Amino acid sequence: MQATGVERRAEVVRAAVAAGLVGERRVAAGFLDVDGVRRTVASLRAAFGGDAPVLHAFAVKACALVPVLRLVADAGMGCEVASPGELALALAAGVPADRIVLDSPAKTGGELSRALELGVAVNADNLAELDRIAALRAARTTSSVLGLRVNPQVGAGTIGAMSTASAHSKFGAPLRDPGARERVLAAFDRHPWLTRLHVHVGSQGCPPDLMAAGVRAAWELAEEVNARAGRRQVTSIDLGGGLPVDFGSDEVSPDFAGYARGLRAAVPGLFDGSYALVTEFGRSVVAKNGFTAARVEYAKEVGGRRVALTHAGGHLATRTVLMPDSWPLRVEVLRPDGTPSTAEPVVHDVAGPLCFAGDLVARERLLPRIEAADLVVLPDTGGYYTSAPWAYNSVPRPAVHAFTTVVDGRVRFAEVRREQTLAEIVAEAGGAHADALVGLGRDVRDGGAAR
């Protein structure tokens, strides 16, 4: 019988404890399922298979770790990047420039020049950026595919901060403002090298039918541009990503196959081969293939409620701590050796180590009674958690380990990122410049001339 998600995570943690990867000395760590990532990428590619050529570009922001980017590239994906740092990570992972897409609402001239030199695809965020690209393009030749991001203004999902197709979103050129559509069409008239349209409705909290409505709007605009040009000027459509994740169970719902079926129903012409397609999925590729494990340092009773003080808090689960209603996480309780706890359930707050009262990953949660030295596991944290830590309180970033199961059933680990050292924290905080401020202006105070 195949192990459940709970059983599988416990099995991996037991092996990690035995290997010294988490416990008293290493109080927190992230874990990523290599085989699970490969299966998920395969399901994505199968869902969008058909007549239309597709580049699936992994959203680097979801798991900005070079070995992970190399893994998804080896499984058949490119990368979507939104900063010079993310571009550098994708290149360090060996992703070819022609399989990288640059998106950002505030690209500098230097960033654009670099992308054009490399041949990275660029989606302009607005019409002013298009003018900047036109000037840069006039001074060089480039193989970059160039597109424009549009905001179809089809509405927001349940999490406003994650919705990028609302009436006032900062992203993209709007389509429904007075005169906006005509301005976009005129931009395509002026720039015949503009061959791609990009749309991204949002991510967590945005239902697939809302995402499909945005894609429909982009496809309709592409058809209009091409009819107006009398040729197929727009040859590709970037559909964005954003498929939401079910954080309440181990179910994968919605899944890529269901979303692709919905797109085929909503936009039949999208898959007939007239347009090459790009996707930018991130969280939905890695979230359910990762989890976080952390040691419980203390447990106490406060106001009739048990509080577990752990090493999993806002420095790892930032969104959960700051927006608990939008980003709830499940909590599983293991004994110090990694075996599941069988203690009597009681109501808990599960707190992190940070110095503010809201540093809670779970509130009033019925869980097996947690004791000091137990381990808590946070499922579904393969994206935007251990790979995107918050530096508050200068808590060291935890190690991240990938795992797979070999033929004899043993769990094998590979280090993705080592734990941050205290020396690295000091260096990042300006340790090399410790005297920079005490000496600033000292000669002025002493009656000398300012430097």
Closest CA relative to residue 74, chosen from 93, 88, 91: 93
The CA-CA-CA angle for residues 264, 266, 268, to 5°, reads: 50
The length of the chain, given as a count of residues: 451
DSSP state of 163: B
The helix or strand, by DSSP H or E, that contains position 332, with its residue range, turns out to be strand 332-334
CA distance 230 to 224: 10
Reading the block at residue 70, the tokens are 């190399």
355 is catalytic: yes
Closest CA relative to residue 101, chosen from 115, 126, 132, 122: 122
CA distance 89 to 102: 13
- Which residues are CB-neighbours of 333 under 8 A, at least 6 positions away? 340, 341, 343, 367, 368, 370, 374, 375, 376, 377
DSSP state of 369: P
Burial class from Cβ neighbours inside 10 Å (0-12, 13-18, 19+) for residue 393 reads middle
CA distance 231 to 234: 9
Reading the block at residue 149, the tokens are 């991001």
Catalytic, out of 63, 79, 206, 355: 355
The distance between the two most distant Cα atoms of the chain, rounded to a whole number of Å, is 82
Own/partner pairs for 423-431, CB < 8 Å, 24+ apart? 425/394, 425/396, 428/391, 429/394
Closest CA relative to residue 202, chosen from 234, 169, 224, 175: 169
CA distance 313 to 315: 5
Q: Give the DSSP per-residue string, 262-331.
A: HHHHH-GGGGSSSSEEEE---HHHHGGGEEEEEEEEEEEEETTEEEEEES-STTTSHHHHHSTTTS----
- Which residues are CB-neighbours of 327 under 8 A, at least 6 positions away? 204, 247, 317, 319, 320
The separation between the first and the last C-alpha atoms of the chain, rounded to the nearest angstrom, is 75
Q: Give the DSSP per-residue string, 180-221.
A: HHHHHHHHHHH-TTEEEEE---BSTT--HHHHHHHHHHHHHH
Q: Which residues are catalytic?
A: 355
